[in-house]
Amino acid sequence: MPCPVIPQRHFLRKPQPLPRDASEEQIQILFSHIHNPRDKAMFSLMLECGLRVGEVHNLSLEDVFSEGPPRLKIHGKGDQYRIAYLPPPAWEALQSWLTSRPVRKDRAVFISEHGKRLSVSGIQFILKEYCCTAGVHITCHQFRHAFGRRMAEARLPVTTLQKLFGHRSPRTTQRYVHLSNPFLRDEYDRAMARVLESLA
């Protein structure tokens, strides 16, 4: 008897795990150990603007705009560009680094002690060293997850969050709303209030 399964038609959808987030307590502990202006600026951009580590690596001085609302031109995945707006803490951290950044030929925003653009692995290694000192475990991408969670908790529309993240599909962004869904919590609270009222 022939197999009834048609590969092009019958398939199992792979599960989509929820983003693994870093707690606010862990973030606070970690940042209490970061005093280097360059490193604080790097990780602030990931946490407060949702940048990927590769996007931080790609940043050049020409990508920083201070006229009008402080913002960055981001070179993201698939050679896609977008604008990221900087909240005051991230802008202050970046300004602090840029004013102390040594003048070098390399136009990268974040450079090593040798004056060269910091590599992705170099940024990840720096974070790992801080985590060891602080006694926490946070990855660069968890900063991005934390940004998504914060925006979802603040009820930012999914379509707007999608643009800030640089996601092609809103389904990818929707995972962050599932991680922290304030609308679901509101509906639950209203329903539970009615239940408790009926039982009183």
Q: Does residue 136 sit within a domain?
A: yes
| pLDDT reading at 187 higher than 70 | no
What is the CA 173 to chain-centroid distance, rounded? 12
pLDDT band at residue 4 using 50, 70 and 90 as cut-offs:
low
The parent domain of residue 55 ranges over 24-199
pLDDT at site 119? 97
Residue-wise pLDDT tens digits, 12-48: 555 445 446 788 999 999 999 999 999 999 999 999 9
Size of the chain, expressed as the number of residues it contains:
200
Domain annotation covers residue 140: yes
* Number of C-beta neighbours around residue 172 at 10 A: 14
- Distance in angstroms (rounded) separating the CA atoms of residues 196 and 189: 10
The answer to whether position 130 is within a domain reads: yes
Per-residue pLDDT tens digits for 146-181: 888 888 888 877 778 778 887 776 676 666 666 555
Tell me if 181 is assigned to some domain: yes
User: 15 in a domain, yes or no?
Assistant: no
Task: Tell me the chain's radius of gyration from C-alpha atoms.
Answer: 21
Average pLDDT over residues 108-119: 96
Q: Are strands 64-65 and 81-85 parallel, antiparallel or unpaired?
A: unpaired
Asked whether residue 10 carries a pLDDT value surpassing 80, the answer given is no
Matching residue, tokens 């136009």: 107
User: Is the residue at 6 inside a domain?
Assistant: no
Residue 90 lies in a domain: yes
CATH code at position 168: 1.10.443.10
Number of domains in the chain: 1
